């Protein structure tokens, strides 16, 4: 309950702070309103810092009296008007919730007499069986990177074991073990770990061999050196995979020396079998790859759809404040964040893959990402000014929301089919607001926000035009 309460308030604070700081949909860039908002934001930062310190260290909350006086000042009602004043009032209310959470009194939302919710406990092994089954069934599909990785690992482990048994070396299991430990679902990590493991092995066995050659340790000293190598591995394992492999390789040399094996036999075996394992891992990825580059358009299309649904959900709240729930807005926001993270991770992996862009260049990908990020940012700013349930509905917001939903679906389809998205329905909905006779004038805040949303979508299409060479 504590984590859920604090997270929910933090999620609602973010767009309110952004709306006050950004002149696009909030306070003008200059003038007395801007100067007063600077004071409010400074006071909010001070209180949030105090609350965070109290939560982190378990100390009582120590609030700055100057910051409190700014937030409670009646000047806010005189200087700020319209959406900025509404955002300032909402900020004060949310900061009060933050202070209650920091004091330990703001997360118990039970009704009187309701029993305390028990703590969640780690599930047993039997309870995890259906979870594992559902996860495996979800990945049993064509195109799944996890399924491809499982096939690669199985094939490489079997081939490495057979190859290690055929070669005239001992410890033939080193080859499949190396391959399995360096393999990852994406190419970049597989390649970097293969190189790091081989180089770490070479350095580790070289250092350990030099020590053995110079000191000629007996079994007791070899055991001590093996323990030191293991300790260094745990001490330095977070500094990098290659450093850990240096310690592991030295540990193996000392351990086998303690057992009486000759270092001149152990070193070549270790190096050659490690090299074979890394080569097997790379060959498996070349034969049965799972590149992220060809899937970039799918990731981008998914982000377009979720961004459009998020903005449409926000506009629905303006169209019908009484029947819309804030939970819908939060769910749409979290969904678009997941799509954005998936796109960014895929783009980062694709940058290091030896594959051509296949229809979307790096420059276009970066410009498209900036445009969609701006789109989501405008929607977040509009979320900060969501009307109360008793507010007057904005009818034109419903048409804009419907146009955004349809356009985002069609735009995502166009991205997948290598076409340039057209945002005509959104443009027509905005023009219809101007041409509607006998209707009340459109809400200026909603119209301004919708105009900024359309501009971001047009920037997105322009980025894809540059990629296709038609701009």
34 within 8 A of 84, measured Cβ to Cβ:
no
Written as six digits, the tokens of 41 are: 């934001």
Predicted model pTM = 0.72
Mean pLDDT for 49-73 is 87
410 within 8 A of 421, measured Cβ to Cβ:
yes
State the pLDDT at residue 309. 94
pLDDT in tens, 245-287: 899 889 988 887 777 666 566 677 778 888 888 889 888 888 8
pLDDT in tens, 103-150: 875 445 555 665 555 556 778 889 899 999 999 999 888 878 888 889
Cα separation of 438 and 411, whole Å? 33
| Distance between start and end Cα atoms, the chain | 52
State the pLDDT at residue 443. 77
Mean pLDDT for 411-440 is 80
* Domain annotation for the chain: domains and CATH numbers: 2-102 (no CATH), 144-287 (no CATH), 293-468 (1.20.120)
Q: What is the DSSP string of 144-174?
A: -HHHHHHHHHHHHHHHHHHHHHHSS-S-TTH
Q: What is the DSSP string of 274-321?
A: HHHHHHHHHHHHHHS---SGGGHHHHHHHHHHHHHHHHHHHHHHHH-T
Q: Distance from CA of residue 13 to its chain's centroid?
A: 20
User: What rounded mean pLDDT belongs to the chain?
Assistant: 84
State the pLDDT at residue 106. 47
263 within 8 A of 212, measured Cβ to Cβ:
yes
Cα separation of 274 and 181, whole Å? 11
pLDDT in tens, 80-92: 887 888 888 889 9
Torsion angles phi and psi, residue 470, rounded to 5: -100, 0
pLDDT in tens, 365-403: 889 999 999 999 899 888 888 887 778 888 888 889 999
State the pLDDT at residue 157. 92
State the pLDDT at residue 57. 80
Pick the more confident residue, 340 or 266: 340
pLDDT in tens, 288-319: 887 888 888 999 999 999 999 999 999 998 88
State yes or no: pLDDT of 407 exceeds 80: yes
Mean pLDDT for 185-193 is 84
State the pLDDT at residue 265. 63
Mean pLDDT for 222-239 is 90
Tell me the pLDDT band of 1, cut-offs 50, 70 and 90.
very low
């Amino acid at each position: 309950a504590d984590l859920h309460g604090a997270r929910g308030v933090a999620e609602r604070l973010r767009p309110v702070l952004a709306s006050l700081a950004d002149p696009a949909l909030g306070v003008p860039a200059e003038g007395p309103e801007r100067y007063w908002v600077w004071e409010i934001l400074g006071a909010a930062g001070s209180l949030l810092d105090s609350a965070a310190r109290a939560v982190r260290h378990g100390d009582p909350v120590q609030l700055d009296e100057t910051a409190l006086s700014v937030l409670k000042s009646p000047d806010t009602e005189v200087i700020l008007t319209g959406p900025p004043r509404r955002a300032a009032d909402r900020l004060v209310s949310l900061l009060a919730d933050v202070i209650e959470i920091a004091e330990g009194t703001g997360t118990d939302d039970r009704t009187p007499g309701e029993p305390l919710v028990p703590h969640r406990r780690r599930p047993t092994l039997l309870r995890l069986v259906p979870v594992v089954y559902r996860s495996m069934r979800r990945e049993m599909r064509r195109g799944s990177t996890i399924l491809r990785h499982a096939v690669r690992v199985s094939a490489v482990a079997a081939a490495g074991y057979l190859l290690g048994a055929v070669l005239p070396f001992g410890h033939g299991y080193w080859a499949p073990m190396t391959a399995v430990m360096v393999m990852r679902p994406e190419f970049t990590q597989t390649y970097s770990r293969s190189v790091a493991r081989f180089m770490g092995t070479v350095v580790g066995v070289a250092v350990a061999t030099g020590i053995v050659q110079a000191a000629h340790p007996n079994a007791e000293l070899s055991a001590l050196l093996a323990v030191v190598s293991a300790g260094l591995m745990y001490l330095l394992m977070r500094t990098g995979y290659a450093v850990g492999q240096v310690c592991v390789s030295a540990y193996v040399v000392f351990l086998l020396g303690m057992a009486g094996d000759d270092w001149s036999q152990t070193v070549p075996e270790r190096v050659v079998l490690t090299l074979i394992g890394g080569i097997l891992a790379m060959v498996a990825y070349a034969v049965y790859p799972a590149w992220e580059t060809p899937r970039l358009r799918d990731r981008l299309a998914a982000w377009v759809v979720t961004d459009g649904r998020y903005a449409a959900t926000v506009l629905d709240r303006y169209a019908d404040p009484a029947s819309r729930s804030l939970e819908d807005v939060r769910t749409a926001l979290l969904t678009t964040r997941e799509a954005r993270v998936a796109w960014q991770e895929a783009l980062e992996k694709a940058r290091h893959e030896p594959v051509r862009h296949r229809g979307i260049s790096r420059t276009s990908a970066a410009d498209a990402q900036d445009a969609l990020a701006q789109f989501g940012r405008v929607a977040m700013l509009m979320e900060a000014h969501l009307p109360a349930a008793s507010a007057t509905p904005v009818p034109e917001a419903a048409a804009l929301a419907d146009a955004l939903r349809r356009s985002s679906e069609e735009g995502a389809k166009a991205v997948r089919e290598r076409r340039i998205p057209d945002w005509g329905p959104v443009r027509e909905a905005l023009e219809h607001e101007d041409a509607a006779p006998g209707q009340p004038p459109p809400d200026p805040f909603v119209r301004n926000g919708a105009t900024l949303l359309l501009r971001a979508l047009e920037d997105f299409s322009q980025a894809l035009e540059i990629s296709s060479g038609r701009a």
